[in-house]
């Protein structure tokens, strides 16, 4: 989130230039990512499989439990319906958000990884940048 788009674009372009990269136009790589939403809820007393069957009707595509609770993923457009259903059920939402998940990842050399990580670090340090997504295999 920025209060000055021109400044932010100029900053990001300068990071690409310093790292011998090129910046595409707005939205030029959007097709390479799935725009998803996610919700984390407490796991106590909940059957993940049963919850998954119930939440499929609201757009949830993936659900799993880990040490921090239950994580649910769905298409971006399902955010409102899922949030409303969780609230209607009285289920606490520990966290929620949006992500862009690469449809295909690319394997690159160790030298390229170092260069890309240097660029990512510069971009992430910018005060106007909230999230950075890439297709590099990790």
User: Domain for residue 16, yes or no?
Assistant: no
Residue 136 domain flag: no
* 33-41, strands of its sheet edge to edge: 62-66, 69-75, 33-41, 95-102
pLDDT at position 59: 97
In a domain, 87, yes or no: yes
Task: Give per-10-residue mean pLDDT for the chain (138 aa).
Answer: 88 94 92 97 94 96 95 98 97 97 94 94 94 91
Around 59, how many Cα atoms within 13 Å sit in the side-chain half-sphere? 18
- Whether 19 is in a domain gets the answer no
- The verdict on residue 76 lying in a domain is yes
Establish how many alpha carbons lie within 13 A of residue 129's alpha carbon, considering only the half-sphere containing its beta carbon: 17
pTM: 0.76
**What is residue 1's predicted lDDT score, i.e. its pLDDT?**
65
Does residue 55 lie in a domain region?
yes
The verdict on residue 72 lying in a domain is yes
Q: What angle do CA 76, 80, 84 make, to 5 degrees?
A: 145
Burial class (CB in 10 A: 0-12, 13-18, 19+), 31: exposed
State the pLDDT at residue 100: 95
Predicted confidence at residue 138, as pLDDT, reads 77
- 113: which 2 tokens? 């990884």
Which domain range does residue 54 map to?
32-102
Among 68, 64, 69, smallest CA distance to 48 is for 64
50 in a structural domain: yes
Interatomic CA distance for residues 131 and 1, integer angstroms: 10
* pLDDT on residue 2: 82
Into how many domains does the chain fold? 1
CATH assignment at residue 47:
3.30.70.980
* Packing angle, helices 5-18 and 110-125, rounded to 10: 160
């Amino acid at each position: 989130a920025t209060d000055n788009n021109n400044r932010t674009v100029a900053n990001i372009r300068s990071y690409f230039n310093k790292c011998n990269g090129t910046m595409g136009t707005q939205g030029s790589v959007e097709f390479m990512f799935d725009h998803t939403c996610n919700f984390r809820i407490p796991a106590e007393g909940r059957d993940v499989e049963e919850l998954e069957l119930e939440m499929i009707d609201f757009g949830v595509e993936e659900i799993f439990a880990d040490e921090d609770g239950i994580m649910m993923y769905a298409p971006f457009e399902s955010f409102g319906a899922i949030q409303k259903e969780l609230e209607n059920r009285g289920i606490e939402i520990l966290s929620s958000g949006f992500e862009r998940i690469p449809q295909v990842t690319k394997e690159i050399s160790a030298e390229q990884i170092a260069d890309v990580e240097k660029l990512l670090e510069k971009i992430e340090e910018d005060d106007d940048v909230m999230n950075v997504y890439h297709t590099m295999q990790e």
